[in-house]
Amino acid sequence: MSQYYFPIVFVVLLEILRLAQSHPFLFNSGNQQRRAQVEWKTPEDNWTAEAAPRSIYPLLQNQYNKHQLPPTNRYEIIEGDEDEQVLRRMHEAKQNATARTLFYSNKDESHLPPLLTKTIKYFNLQQVAYELETSVMSQVSCTACKAGAGLLQHYIRTGKSKEEIIKMIYQYCVNLKIQSARVCEGVSQLFGVEVIYVLKRITIGPDEICSFIIGDACGDIYNPYHEWEVEFPPVPKPDPRDLGLPKEAAPVFKVLHLSDTHFDPYYAEGSNADCNEPLCCRLTNGRPTTPNGAAGKWGDYRKCDTPKRTIDHMLNHIADTHADIDFIIWTGDLPPHDVWNQTKEENLNVLKETVKQMTEKFPGIPIFPALGNHESAPVNSFPPPYVQQVDSSIAWLYDELDVQWRRWLPASVSHTVRRGAFYSVLVRPGYRIISLNMNYCNNKNWWLLLNSTDPATELQWFIYELQSAEFAGEKVHVIGHIPPGHSDCLKVWSRNYYKIVSRFESTITAQFFGHTHFDEFEVFYDPHDLSRATSIAYIGPSVTPYNDLNPGYRIYYIDGDHDETTRLVVDHESWIMNLKEANLYDYPIWYKLYSTRAAYGMKGLRPADWDQLINNMTDSKELFDLYYKHYWKNSPVKPECDYECRKRILCDAKSGRSHDRKYFCEEVEAKIDESNKGWKDWLFSSISSSYVLYKKLF
C-alpha cells in the first residue's frame, strides 16, 4: 500500500523546487547538448491466450457444509455469550483503570527542528509525502513529481553516471532529513537503478511521466505511447437480465477473505512505535522516548505491521469459529512495509512462511491466492515478460509462486502463473475463479513507462477466459489485489478492464480485492447509462493495523449449488479485533463488527442494491457515519470525516474506473455540496436575523 520511496526519489530536494523555477531545462532542455537516447523497442512476444491450458475439473468437492445466513435484524447480545461477558468485564475494568492505554499521539507535535519544520511547510514536502502514501493526490504532488522527473532526466541526458545520480539522491535525502540515513540509502540503492534504467529508455517528458504516475491531479495529458484498446471476439453481448434475489433457504458457500497481512518477522513488543520512519516497532528503531511510545504486544495503531503472534491468534480463532468454511480467497500483500530494506530472499521467506502457516491452519481447504504489490523487491517492481535480464526479470518471484500456490491449485495454472502470476480455475461445475495480477495496472510500477500495452497479455487472456466461461454457462468471480477503480491503477488499464466487466456483466457475478486496508466496495455501471449498476467489487479489510486501524477479515456467504443459483454474494460479515483493548488487557477478542444486510437494511447484495446504498448514504449522514465506522473497522483513533471526506469516500464507492471521478461522482458531490450549503445558509440566515432583531431592539 505505502509508496515511501516516491517522496524520496521525487521530493528529496528542496533544491529541486528552487531549480525548477530558475532552470527551465528541468522541463525543456531546448538545444542543449544531450547524451544520445537509448534506442529501445518492446521485444516481440508470440504468447497467445489460446495456448494456455484451462482448468476444467472442479477443485471443490461436493458441498457438505450446511451454513446458516447471518440474521437480518440488528445483532443483540445473548445472555451467556462468553465473549460478550468478557467484553463487559473489560469495559467495567476500563472505567476504573488508572493506567493509560498503550497508544497515545499528539497530532500537532513536531519532531523536527523548528527551522526545518518551517522550511518543509513552505515547500509542502510533508503534504507530498502524505499524499503519495495515501494515494490521494493534489497539484502539490504533481509539481514535485515534475521537478524530480525533470531533474533526473536532465542528469541522465548530460552524462551523469548511475552512481552519481544515486549518490545525489541519497545526499539530498539525508541533508534535508526527509528520512533517516539508512532509509535514504536503502531507497536510493533499491529504486535508483530501476528508475534510471527506465528513464534512459523513454522519450516522454515530465508532464507525461507525472500524468501517467499520478493521474488526474497532474492533468489528463494525451500520451500516444500509452493509449491502447483490448480486442473483443465478434460475439454479441447477451441481453442483461434483471437479477432476482437469491433464494433465502438455498445452500450457500461460506468463504473467508484475508488480505494485506503484512507479517513483520522483526516486530518487537516494547520497541519504539513512533520512529519517524516508514515502518516502526522494531528493535532497530531503538527505545521509545516515552512510555506511550512503546509498541504493543499485539500490534500498534501507528506505522507498524502485524506480529506473528497476532496472525497466529487470528488464524486459530478462524479455525475454531469458522470451522465450516468451504474455501479461502487471499488477496495478497504478505511482506511488511520496510520497503527500503527488502531483499528477494527475505520476501520469498515471508511468502513460504505464510503459505506454510495457512496450510497448517486450514488443511484440506482450497485457497485461491492473488499477488499483492509488496511481494516484489523492490516494492511495486513487476517487469513484464519482455524484461528477461537476470538482474531485472521477475521470474524469481513468479516461479516460486507457482511452487507455493500449487499446494492448492491444479497443474494447468503453471503456464500463466509463471508468465504473469494470473490464473483461472473451475471451483464447482458452472463456477469459476479468475485471479488477476493487478500490478500490471499499478502506476507505481516504473516498468510500465516503457510500454503499458496490456502487460503480459493479461487482459486479452482474461477476455478469452470470460468468453469461454460465457459459452460454457459458467459464472465467474474475479480476485486481485489493487482495486481497478483505485487511484493506484493506471487509467488506460482500468478503462479497458471496465469495458471487459461491462461486456461480461452476465458472467462476472462478484469481484474481490484488497490493498486499501479499509472495509469498502466499488460499484460498476453501464458506461452508457450510469443509473444502471452492473457489477460489484468487494474490498476486504486488512489484517495489518497499519495504520490507525483494527485488524480484520471478511466472511462471505455465496449462493451455492442449486438449479437456480446466481453465484451472487448473499451476505457478508466483517470481523475485527479491538487492538486497543487487546494491548491494554492482554486478551485479544475477535468479534463480528457487522453483517451487511442487517447493518444497512439491504434486501440483497446485488449491484443495484449497493448503488441504492450509496444514494441512501448521500442523503443520510447518520447512515454514512455507520458506514464510516465500519470503513475504519471501528478504530478508536479514526479521524473525523467532514463533508469533503464524505464526498471522497462515496465517490470512491461509485468509481470502478480509476481517474474518472468527474464522470461518476458529479451527482453525489452536488447533493452533498447542496446539503452542506443549506446548513451554511441556515446558519448565516439565523445570525443575520438575530443581528436585525438586535438592531431593532437596541
Cβ partners under 8 Å of residue 82, min gap 6: none
Q: Check residue 383 and report its DSSP letter.
A: -
Please give the span between the terminal C-alpha atoms of the chain, in angstroms, as a whole number: 61
Known binding residue 374? Answer is no
Is the CB of residue 327 less than 8 Å from the CB of residue 255? yes
Q: Which three cell numbers stand for residue 365?
A: 481447504
Query: Which among 521, 686, 659 has a CA at the least distance from the CA of 215?
Result: 659
Kindly report whether the peptide bond that precedes residue 238 is cis, defined as omega within 30 degrees of 0.
no
DSSP string spanning 274-332? Answer: --SSSS-SEGGG---SSGGGBPPSS--SSS--B-HHHHHHHHHHHHHHTTT--EEEE--
251 vs 360: CA distance, rounded Å: 28
Known binder of ligand: residue 154? Answer: no
Specify whether the CB–CB gap between 659 and 216 falls below 8 A: yes
Burial of 322 (0-12, 13-18, 19+ CB in 10 A): middle
CA distances (Å), origin 7, targets 26, 109, 152, 303: 18, 21, 14, 16
Number of H helices, E strands in the chain: 21, 14
373 is in an annotated binding site: yes
Burial call 359-391: b when 16+ CB within 10 Å, e when fewer: eebbeebbbbbbbbbbbbbbbbbbbbbbbeeee
Q: How many residues does the chain have?
A: 698
Report the relative pairing of strands 367-369 and 327-330 from DSSP bridges.
parallel
**What letter does residue 207 receive in the DSSP assignment?**
H
Residues 522 and 303: their CA atoms lie apart, in Å, by 26
- Annotated ligand binding at 442? The verdict is no
Name the H helices within 160-294: 162-175, 181-200, 206-214
What is the rounded distance in angstroms from the CA atom of residue 288 to the CA atom of residue 281? 9
Please name the residue that has the C-alpha cell 507535535.
109
All cell numbers assigned to 326: 468451504
Cell numbers at 160, concatenated: 551523469
Torsion, Cα of 104, 109, 112, 118 (10° steps):
160
Distance between CA 192 and CA 676 in Å, rounded? 46
Distance CA 290, CA 304 (A): 17
| 244-275 as b/e: b if 16+ CB within 10 A | eebeeebebbbbbbbbbbbbbebbbbebbbbb
C-alpha cell at 352: 513460504
481: annotated binding-site residue? Answer: yes
Instruction: For residue 276, say whether it is annotated as part of any ligand binding site.
Output: no
Whole-angstrom Cα Rg for the chain? 26
Is 515 marked as a binding-site residue? yes
Assign 3-class secondary structure to 416-461.
HHHHHCCEEEEEECCEEEEECCHHHCECCCHHHHCCCCCHHHHHHH
Give dist(CA 325, CA 573) in Å, integer. Answer: 13
Classify 410 as helix, strand or coil.
coil
List residues forming the annotated binding site. Answer: 260, 262, 333, 373, 481, 515, 517
List residues forming the annotated binding site for Zn(2+). Answer: 260, 262, 333, 373, 481, 515, 517
